[in-house]
Amino acid sequence: MILRSNASLGKKVTDAVLGSMSDQEKLSMPLLENEEAGRQFALLILKLLAGRADEKYSSKGR
């Protein structure tokens, strides 16, 4: 009975992870389908990463 519970829990976790992945895919599709939206999103991510790099290097000088 314990093995059955563990197997059931494992399946539920797997199902939750896979469900989450498909939700992320649905959210990302508009960005992938629209070239301008994808470009703007990529620039946003680049700016965020550049900001973190700036913070990292400016704190080393202190």
CA 24 to chain CA mean position, Å = 7
Residues of the domain holding 54: 2-60
Residue 4 reports pLDDT greater than 70: no
Average pLDDT over residues 10-29: 78
What rounded mean pLDDT belongs to the chain? 76
How many structural domains compose the chain?
1
Residue 2 reports pLDDT greater than 70: no
State how far the Cα of 55 lies from the Cα of 62, in Å rounded to an integer.
Answer: 11
Unique residue bearing structure tokens 């959210």: 27
